[in-house]
Amino acid sequence: MLIIRNEDGSEDIGEDTAPSLNSVQMKNVDDLGQNPTDPPLDLLPLYELVLNDENYRSRLCFTSALDTNFIPGAVGLIRSIRKFYSVEEADIILFIDHSSPEFDRLCREQSVDLHFFQDIEDWVRPLVYADPQFANDSSHFYHPDFQLKPNIDHHMDRTPELGKLRHLHPLNVKGYCTGYCLCVKNYRHVIHIDCDAFLLARVDGIFERFSDPGTVIGFDDGSDQLLNLEALFNVSKPANFADTDYGFNAGVVFYNNNRAVKQLARDFMFFVESCYHYTHAGYFADQGILRALVAKHSILGNIKYFREDAVNWNPTWNRADNLRLDPESLKWINLANNIQQIVWHGAGGAKLWTGKYESESVNAAWRWVGGGIDDDWLHGFEEG
């Protein structure tokens, strides 16, 4: 898919010729703030146009990836976002494996931009794989010249072909939905949030505290030695490297976008398809890759990275199971520290929509934002 920006600020969807796309014609190249000494923009490849584009969208962007089994969670997440943010304030962009007529309808009603896994390869190829930086990177498992690193063993059952996306699981698509929002749509402020999480308050405060473009904010979730960081990503750990430095949870991550963050996003989209990196980069799959890449770009000084306390923002592993709704302020308070709960995240426990989560207060908060059990969300369509 090709996004063509018109003079009036609107956009058209054009046909993409991936993987052979080498340049893109833009109707208004002045939008990209070109330096007069630079090459003509209409001769630049798409990935250079994306990296150079400084016309960032100002609305918040929430994004997530799911399969159809997680639709009840996505419904609660969508409703929680719309409880605190109008359509004019925030956009929601979701990627799903298959179409569901009822869910598609709900997304239209809530002004959710819905995409499908099957379309990802069309825009990832010109954005990532057309760049010689990636096309020539033989560390990728599917590069024809790939070789195992010393002491990092792995199977070699593969059919080499860079740019063919074989592993479109929601965990992998986490990289693509984030990359789409940062690179293709060019939002300044992007929040990736898993579909087993939901808002209990506005999140603007995080971008007010960390206002510099080129910043990534994660939330503590144990430790990760990133034992293969140097071998897989060609960066040296500093002497003061600690196991907890990059032990953040990938389910809720905030991005303050700029060129360096877009490059991080392109790296994520590239390496999440390499099962060698997926297995060996760090603890647990896509999260290990994102941790390693954030570490790499932070160590090199490309981005600023902050690892914040998770209890009120991304409380994995039952760290926000005792909540109380203040009747006057209508704020949900986490009784673990008597501080307002901003985001709730169910990683490590039963999913709320199964009705099996044991905390009564969390279930009450879930209902408060519009979450339900299993297919409860369909009842409104049946009545209508």
Centroid of chain to Cα 295: 17
Residue 22's pLDDT is what?
33
Residue 33's pLDDT is what?
44
Q: Which two tokens stand for residue 171?
A: 């965990």
Where do the structural domains in the chain lie, given as residue ranges? 2-52, 60-308, 323-383
For the chain, what is the mean pLDDT?
90
What pLDDT band is residue 28 in, cutting at 50, 70 and 90? very low
Q: Which two tokens stand for residue 320?
A: 């926000």
- Digit-coded pLDDT (tens) for 165-197: 999 999 999 999 999 999 999 999 999 999 999
Q: What is the DSSP string of 187-212?
A: BSEEEEE-TTEEESS--HHHHHHS-S
Residue 40's pLDDT is what?
60
CATH fold of the domain at 60-308 = Spore Coat Polysaccharide Biosynthesis Protein SpsA; Chain A (3.90.550)
Distance CA 342, CA 315 (A): 10
- Digit-coded pLDDT (tens) for 225-270: 999 999 999 999 999 999 999 999 999 999 999 999 999 999 999 9
Tell me which amino acid residue 66 is.
L
Residue 295's pLDDT is what?
98
Residue 3's pLDDT is what?
39
What pLDDT band is residue 380 in, cutting at 50, 70 and 90? low
- Digit-coded pLDDT (tens) for 83-106: 999 999 999 999 999 999 999 999
- Digit-coded pLDDT (tens) for 107-146: 999 999 999 999 999 999 999 999 999 999 999 999 999 9
pTM of the model: 0.89
Residue 375's pLDDT is what?
84
Residue 66 near residue 353, CB atoms below 8 Å: no
